[in-house]
A and B are shown apart, each in its own frame.
Chain A
Amino acid sequence: MTINKGLIEAINGPADIRKTSKKCVVNRRTFLLTSGIATATVMVAMHTSEGLAKVPALVATYPRKLIGKLSELKVDEPLDFYYPDEGAYSDSMIVKLGKQAGGGIGPDKDVVAFNYICTHQGGPLHGTYKPDDKALGPCPLHLTTFDLTRHGMFISGQAYQSLPQVLLELEGDDIYAVGMFGLIYGRYDNLKG
């Protein structure tokens, strides 16, 4: 089996980015592209067929929901919304960090959105945004803190997973939520509850 160079590039990032130390901060385009390719890779392994569309299948099943306008966001002032539905633990926040972030959209790649429920034991992270560290937390239950510039990876604490990140799309000035990275606390499937 020959190794697809495009796949390697998708895994490790473009050659010029690979040289820097910012591997863990991928831009939105790279990670959507990557999720598409990696998903296709799993299929290739199963069906040994090629040429599957590089469509991010993981993202496509989620509702596309208008959540706000880019021009109305102020740095370090989170806005709340619900996603992917309005059921339990759908509380989410969008914030303009003023600092480039993994998955960030907008001209400064600094607008990100996350679920509000701690991925340890379901503590509420509402109102815990820390502008100095661009973090959510500490969680009132067991003190986990999450880095919003790095896909919600935890800084310190007990959470089992990164904080689920809401994937965003910008259309003109409108911001849409279009998918999620990571399982929301309390649910066994993001879309089934």
Chain B
Amino acid sequence: MGTPYYIPETNIPLPPVNADIITTACDYCIVACGYKVYRWPLKGGAQGGPNADENAFGVDFPVDPLGAWVAPNQYNVVSHNNEPHHIIVVPDKDTSVVNTNGDSSVRGGAIAQKVYNPQTPTRDRLKSPMIRMFGTLMPVSWDFALDIAAEVGSHVIKKHGANAYAMKMFSYGFMENTYAVSKFALRHISTANFTFHDTPSDVTSTPGFRDAGFDNFGPSYQDWHDADTLMICGTDPYETKTILFTQWIMPAIQNGQKTIFLGPRRTAGIAYAEQNGGLWIDLQPGTDLPVVSAIARVIVENGWEDKEWIKKWVNNKFESSSGFGQGTRNTPWQWRTTWGKFHTKDYDDWKKWLLAQDFSDPQTAADIAQIDVQKSTLPLSG
């Protein structure tokens, strides 16, 4: 039975030398940290010992700092081949990329807790389709549920047309899922009412950025580390992409990276940056746009932009129009209907537009965001 009241455990079983070892990746955020699962059967009662030659980690207990310690939250019992098995899910100490040396967030660090075990709160998991009958949700077979879904779908398409069949999917899931769902929506249903991830229709979430010729997934983790100045808007990666922060950005801050945060809350990553020479612009929620525009305006008014880089890497008008497969240019009909209709023609036209906006005036932007306009002009210390 599950413990009805939380009593913290004070020991864990160690994996024996012959435990199965499976490498995997964390499924919480897109940082994709490496993990290892240690699995061995309850049957037989085998357990590892505290000496290096007695456990699957090959280390002596107690382990060193940064070592192969197993927190009770990283242990569970699961059914594998219809037999109960111990599992331990821990960050992979052998990683040389991403979560180097086996660092992990609290989310990834507790993956073992969400693995299905009917003796834990995971018993609440949805295990079959549910259909509301006589006012009550009842579990039904997949065949029954799919028959109903197909009938309803056919009816909607016949009566209202394919675009009445809307589909929303997640795009960071397994490639097999992404491929199958996309093909079903775009080829078989042929609906334009289809989108993925965080967008309301089949467009990018960063259209201007993409149209200017940049890929918003361009930077490598090394780039986050190597940047001299890093501006982070509306998020604290310590909380949202923890390993990107603690393995890549935090060491950079220690080495003098100027880190600027725009955000309403002084979260732990922001507090750390502030104490180590960074800057926190404590704006009101939703006012990033005028603040970023004002910063850009100060840069271009002073001619501080990297002219060479802009010339080489930023799209001109023809490049924006002819670009395909990015942003608002994902499908042939989008490509045709958006040709030449971008907000600005090129960098110089964008600059003219920026200087004409009243909200890009630093004092106006500061008033909107309720921040001290002088704060942004203070030299960064440290």
Contacts and interface: CB of A to CB of B under 8 A. Distances in A.
A157 B65 CA distance: 17
Given A143-B272, A183-B11, A193-B50, A158 B5 contact: no
B249 to A, nearest CB: 12
Interface residues of B, number: 41
A160 B62 contact: no
B69 A186 contact: yes
Contacts of B63: 122, 186
B76 interface: no
B9 A183 contact: yes
A182 interface: yes
Interface string B221-243: 00000000000000000110010
B58 to A, nearest CB: 14
B67 interface: yes
Interface stretch (A38-46, A67-75, A106-114, A169-177): A38-46
Contacts of A156: 238-239, 267-268
Interface string B321-351: 0000000000000000000000000000000
A35 interface: yes
Interface in A173-193: 180-183, 185-193
Contacts of A141: 65-66
B104 interface: yes
A187 B5 contact: no
B7 interface: yes
B72 A161 contact: yes
Interface residues of A, number: 47
B106 A188 contact: no
Contacts of B72: 161, 182-183
Given A45-B1, A186-B61, A188-B11, A160 B110 contact: yes
A58 B7 CA distance: 9
B3 interface: yes
B interface, by DSSP: helix, strand, loop or mixed? loop
Contact of A158 (B12, B14, B61, B242): B242
B4 A119 contact: no
Nearest to A8: B4
A133 to B, nearest CB: 12
A87 interface: yes
Nearest to B108: A158
Contacts of A119: 71
B69 A122 contact: yes
Contacts of A42: 1, 3
A74 to B, nearest CB: 27
A159 B67 CA distance: 14
Nearest to B246: A142
Interface string B312-326: 000000000000000
Contacts of B1: 41-42, 45
B246 to A, nearest CB: 5
Interface string B268-290: 11001000000000000000000
A121 B11 contact: no
A182 B10 contact: yes
Interface in B98-124: 103-106, 109-110
Interface in A114-163: 119-123, 138, 141-143, 145, 154, 156-162
Given A34-B5, A183-B12, A188 B70 contact: yes
Contacts of B103: 121, 142, 158
Contacts of B143: none
A161 B73 contact: yes
A187 B62 contact: yes
A185 B73 contact: no
Interface in A63-96: 87-89
A188 B73 CA distance: 13
Given A87-B62, A88-B62, A38 B5 contact: yes
A121 B65 CA distance: 6
Contacts of A145: 268
Contacts of B269: 143
A190 B71 CA distance: 12
B268 A143 contact: yes
Contacts of A41: 1, 4
Interface centre among B7, B61, B105 (most CB of A within 10 A): B7
Nearest to A35: B7
Contacts of B259: none
26 contacts: A38-B3, A38-B4, A41-B4, A45-B1, A58-B7, A58-B10, A121-B65, A122-B65, A138-B272, A141-B65, A143-B269, A145-B268, A157-B106, A160-B71, A160-B73, A160-B110, A161-B73, A181-B8, A181-B10, A183-B12, A186-B65, A186-B69, A187-B62, A188-B50, A189-B10, A189-B11
Interface of A: 7, 10-11, 34-35, 38-39, 41-42, 45, 58, 87-89, 119-123, 138, 141-143, 145, 154, 156-162, 164-165, 180-183, 185-193
